[in-house]
Each structure stands twice: as structure tokens, then as C-alpha cells.
């Protein structure tokens, strides 16, 4: 599993993930906020399965080496 998520992308995913998870506890308190686990997890591991399928890489340091 090669990293394909760059620094800015990771930061945005973390912020969006935390914001979505916060919806579960604050505000409308809807369970849909748990969907925030997905961007948070992909940011923390640095790999997005959808990016792999589409051949997208947003990181500078991810070359062709594994």
C-alpha cells in the first residue's frame, strides 16, 4: 500500500473528519457524522483507496518506489 495522500490533502481530511465526527456529539447529533471516520482514517494512514483506483496522487514524495 503506497501513500497517495499529500500534506495539504491530509490536513483537510483531518479537519473535515473531526468536524463530521463532532456532528455526532454537538449540533444536530446525527449518526451520519460517523462518516467522518473515513476521511480521518485515510489521512492518518496516508492512503486513499479511491485515489488508487483513479490513479491520483497528491503527495510530492510518493514516487514509483514502494
Write out pLDDT tens, residues 20-39.
999 999 989 999 999 999 99
Ramachandran angles phi, psi of 55, nearest 5°:
75, 30
Closest CA to 40 of 24, 64, 60: 24
**What does the pLDDT read at residue 48?**
96
Give residue 1's pLDDT.
83
Among candidate residues 43, 42, 37, the one with its CA nearest the CA of residue 18:
37
User: Quick one: pLDDT at residue 66?
Assistant: 47
- pLDDT category, 64, cuts 50, 70, 90? low
DSSP-based three-state secondary structure for 36: helix
Question: pTM surpassing 0.95?
Answer: no
Amino acid at each position: 500500500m503506497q501513500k497517495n495522500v499529500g500534506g495539504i490533502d491530509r490536513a483537510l481530511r483531518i479537519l473535515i473528519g473531526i468536524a463530521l465526527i463532532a456532528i455526532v456529539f454537538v449540533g444536530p447529533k446525527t449518526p451520519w457524522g460517523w462518516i467522518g471516520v473515513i476521511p480521518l482514517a485515510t489521512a492518518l494512514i496516508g492512503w486513499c483507496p479511491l485515489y488508487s483506483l483513479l490513479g491520483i496522487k497528491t503527495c510530492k514524495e510518493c514516487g514509483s518506489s514502494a
